[in-house]
């Protein structure tokens, strides 16, 4: 599988010249970069994806479905997004066909790598997708701690959990931690698990709808969502106690918060439960949690006035038997996101 990687500005400029000359593949490649990597330009990315889709490119139609469902370059509209997903599927793009099957609840067929759907099949599946059901979440319950921690039972169906694990498995790489000196990532002994955080151009519509459900649950705008990550812990792997908020003790980090927003919420979705150990622990609160498959946990890393809440120090302790899978979603917020 060829993973999408960021390119430099000179390469972007070359793609733009080719796109302006009418090269459909260049239009798609440029749209993927603009929607997925800094420096972002979601409006231009949407424009080029739309142009490539008008040329009949099935993958571009899929990218448009993701962009519209996320509100990137266009007003968020799930029904319009599904129309583009249907178009992509009708053009023979197998990932779009599989996602339509999944969203319509035909999970067994959705795991077929190469479904063969007719245009009539695609229309029928699209009409069967229950958007409101996909966006609805069970109500959260407050954990017995002074920090704002909420638990949600049965947030996602078991089939969704299995889908996300299968989606992540071929993409896993060793996980990194935030490097405050560079603003990028670094490897460290404090974190030994693996993960994958697909950029916009590699997201699928099942993940997109789950992100929308998280937005509805937390009542925070999708605009502040970082790339979602699927985390994998083999036996003995861990993420030692750490904070998820961004420190505001240097000018560079203060600037990061001003421009990108503070990381106010951490959401964890438990994708399996057939392992021993592996709890999420909060040592300063003397509280730990292990969700069942499909459950979720989310907590506020910042106080209501935006200051870091140091009570949220937390860790992913090692499993003693079996593998652990999580969906992790960090959510940023600043007042202009309202």
pLDDT in tens, 3-45: 799 999 999 999 999 999 999 999 999 999 999 999 999 999 9
Of 100, 129, 158, the position where a domain reaches its end is 129
Q: Are residues 172 and 287 in the same domain?
A: yes
Q: Are residues 203 and 289 in the same domain?
A: yes
Q: Are residues 294 and 182 in the same domain?
A: yes
**Residues 159 and 187: beta-carbon distance below 8 Å:** no
Expressed as residue numbers, the domain containing 331 is: 141-337
Q: Are residues 329 and 281 in the same domain?
A: yes
At a CB cut-off of 8 Å and minimum separation 6, what does 148 contact? 142, 299, 300, 309
Strand arrangement of the beta sheet that strand 324-333 belongs to: 141-142, 149-152, 296-300, 262-270, 324-333, 229-233, 194-196, 173-174
Residue listed under structure tokens 């969203």: 103
Q: What is the pLDDT of residues 204-235, one digit of tens each?
A: 999 999 999 999 999 999 999 999 999 999 99
Torsion (CA) 83, 84, 90, 93 in degrees, nearest 10: -140
Nearest to 184 by CA among 38, 33, 333: 38
| Mean pLDDT for the chain overall | 94
Q: Are residues 33 and 60 in the same domain?
A: yes
Q: Are residues 203 and 292 in the same domain?
A: yes
Give the burial class of 277: count Cβ atoms within 10 A of its Cβ; 0-12 exposed, 13-18 middle, 19 or more buried: middle
Q: Are residues 161 and 118 in the same domain?
A: no
Q: Are residues 164 and 243 in the same domain?
A: yes
Q: Are residues 320 and 177 in the same domain?
A: yes
At a CB cut-off of 8 Å and minimum separation 6, what does 122 contact? 86, 89, 90, 97, 100
- The structure's pTM equals 0.94
Task: Report how many domains make up the chain.
Answer: 2
pLDDT computed for residue 306 by the predictor: 79
At a CB cut-off of 8 Å and minimum separation 6, what does 211 contact? 70, 222, 225, 228, 329
pLDDT higher than 70, residue 1:
no
Q: Are residues 222 and 301 in the same domain?
A: yes
| DSSP H or E segment with residue 141 | strand 141-142
Q: Are residues 114 and 208 in the same domain?
A: no
Residue 226 covered by a domain: yes
The CATH code of the domain that includes 68 is 1.25.40.10
Residue 135 covered by a domain: no
pLDDT higher than 90, residue 307:
no
The CATH code of the domain that includes 184 is 2.60.120.620
111 alpha-carbon distance from chain centroid = 20
Binned at pLDDT 50, 70 and 90, residue 175 comes out as confident
Give the burial class of 322: count Cβ atoms within 10 A of its Cβ; 0-12 exposed, 13-18 middle, 19 or more buried: middle
Residue 1 covered by a domain: no
Residue 2 covered by a domain: no
Q: What is the pLDDT of residues 233-258, one digit of tens each?
A: 999 999 999 999 988 877 777 888 88
User: d(Cα 205, Cα 210) in Å, to the nearest integer?
Assistant: 9
**Can you read off the two tokens belonging to residue 187?**
């490897």
User: d(Cα 65, Cα 85) in Å, to the nearest integer?
Assistant: 5
User: d(Cα 65, Cα 184) in Å, to the nearest integer?
Assistant: 29
At a CB cut-off of 8 Å and minimum separation 6, what does 326 contact? 230, 231, 233, 268, 269, 270, 271, 316
**Can you read off the two tokens belonging to residue 334?**
């600043």
- Compute the average pLDDT of residues 306-324: 94
């Amino acid at each position: 599988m060829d993973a999408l990687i960021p390119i430099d500005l000179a390469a972007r400029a070359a793609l733009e010249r080719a796109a302006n000359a009418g090269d459909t593949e260049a239009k798609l490649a440029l749209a993927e970069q603009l929607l997925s990597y800094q420096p972002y330009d979601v409006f231009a990315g949407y424009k080029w994806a739309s142009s490539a889709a008008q040329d009949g490119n099935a993958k571009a139609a899929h990218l448009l479905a993701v962009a519209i469902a996320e509100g990137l370059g266009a007003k968020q509209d799930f029904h319009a997004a599904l129309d583009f997903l249907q178009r992509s599927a009708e053009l023979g793009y197998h990932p779009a066909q599989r996602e339509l099957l999944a969203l319509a609840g035909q999970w067994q067929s959705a795991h077929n790598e190469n479904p063969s759907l007719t245009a009539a099949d695609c229309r029928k599946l699209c009409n069967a997708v229950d958007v409101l059901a996909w966006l609805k979440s069970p109500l959260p319950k407050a954990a017995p701690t002074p920090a704002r921690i909420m638990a949600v039972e049965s947030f996602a169906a078991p089939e969704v959990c299995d889908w996300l694990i299968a989606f992540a498995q071929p993409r896993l790489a060793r996980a990194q931690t935030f490097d405050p000196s560079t603003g990028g990532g670094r490897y460290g002994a404090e974190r030994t698990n693996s993960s994958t955080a697909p950029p916009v151009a590699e997201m699928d519509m099942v993940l997109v709808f789950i992100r929308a459900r998280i937005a509805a649950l937390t009542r925070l705008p999708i605009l502040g969502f970082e790339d979602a990550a699927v985390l994998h812990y083999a036996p003995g792997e861990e993420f030692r106690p750490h904070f998820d908020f961004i420190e505001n003790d240097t000018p560079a980090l203060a600037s990061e918060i001003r421009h990108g927003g503070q990381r106010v919420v951490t959401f964890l979705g438990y994708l399996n439960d057939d392992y021993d150990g592996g709890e999420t622990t909060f040592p300063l609160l003397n509280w730990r949690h292990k969700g069942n498959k499909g459950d979720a946990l989310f907590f506020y890393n910042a106080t209501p006035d935006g200051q870091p809440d140091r009570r949220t120090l937390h860790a992913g302790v090692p499993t003693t038997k079996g593998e652990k899978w999580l969906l992790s979603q960090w959510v940023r917020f600043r007042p202009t996101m309202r």
